[in-house]
């Protein structure tokens, strides 16, 4: 069994660019602090209206480099075929055991794209199953229970349960998104999709709105299904 890097954060997305849309600034922030961050895309987005799988792989690698990501994997599940199958759950749990992240992120389930919600459910199942001793996955990795599962927002303006200040990293996030030229830049002969008509600007405007609500310039919003424990509210606990 080949030894793998231990991650602080592992973020799953249905397609390359999902994670960057939802939490690119947060990834850049913690990577700059020396944390090990990983991204796992469940599909190769082969049904995208624009671009090819080969081009999207190159764009994803470029974007990961911009953000300082330590490792990026693609599981190759079928685009628009992310259903709650045992095989998909086991392979996702394998990735969790392989990299042993402290915190896992997945897309928020309420989203206009069904793949995002289905990705969320697959990761939820894998998050739980990866910690079960008798649950079998490939690779011979030991069970691993990440401490938390949080959800990032792709499409929409859901009210977050908490936000992370991304003010100093918003330009890095924008640069990573712009690495996906096939998706966010209108090209001659390309399909006219919502993504090529000011989508990046809309995402940045949302982060500006979240930031303004929290008293900073830009912030990314997250949700959790469990109470978020604060150990030290005023900084005076021993």
Residue entry with tokens 């069970």:
143
Q: How many CB atoms lie within 10 A of CB 123?
A: 29
Q: What single string gives the DSSP state of each residue in 48-97? A: -SSS-HHHHHHHHHHHHHHHT-SEEEEEEEPTT-----HHHHHHHHHHHH
pLDDT of residue 238: 46
The three-point CA angle 208-210-214 to 5° equals: 110
pLDDT of residue 34: 97
CA distance 184 to 74: 21
pLDDT of residue 174: 97
**Ranges of residues in the chain whose predicted pLDDT is under 50:** 238
Sheet holding 37-43, edge to edge: 71-77, 37-43, 9-13, 103-107, 148-152, 219-223, 162-165
* Helical packing angle, 170-178 and 199-214, nearest 10°: 160
């Amino acid at each position: 069994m080949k030894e793998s890097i231990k991650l602080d954060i592992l973020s799953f997305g249905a397609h390359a660019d999902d994670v960057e849309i939802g939490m690119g600034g947060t990834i850049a922030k913690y990577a700059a602090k020396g944390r090990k961050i990983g991204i796992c895309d469940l599909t190769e987005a082969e049904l995208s209206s624009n671009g090819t799988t080969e081009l999207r792989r190159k764009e994803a690698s470029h974007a990961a480099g911009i953000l300082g990501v330590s490792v990026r994997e693609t599981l190759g599940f079928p685009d628009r075929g992310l259903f709650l199958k045992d095989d998909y759950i086991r392979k996702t749990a394998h990735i969790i055991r392989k990299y042993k992240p402290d915190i896992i992120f997945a897309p928020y389930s309420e989203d206009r794209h069904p793949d995002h919600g289905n990705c969320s459910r697959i990761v939820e199942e894998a998050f739980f199953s990866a910690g079960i001793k008798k649950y079998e996955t490939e690779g011979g990795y030991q069970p691993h229970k990440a401490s938390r599962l949080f959800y990032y927002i792709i499409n929409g303006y859901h009210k977050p349960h908490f936000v992370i200040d991304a003010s100093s990293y918003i330009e890095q996030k924008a640069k990573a998104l712009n690495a996906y030229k096939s998706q966010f830049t209108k090209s001659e002969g390309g399909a006219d999709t919502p993504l090529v008509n000011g989508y990046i600007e809309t995402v940045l405007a949302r982060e500006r709105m979240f930031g303004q609500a929290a008293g900073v310039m830009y912030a990314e919003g997250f949700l959790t299904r469990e109470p978020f424990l604060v150990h030290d509210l005023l900084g005076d606990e021993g």
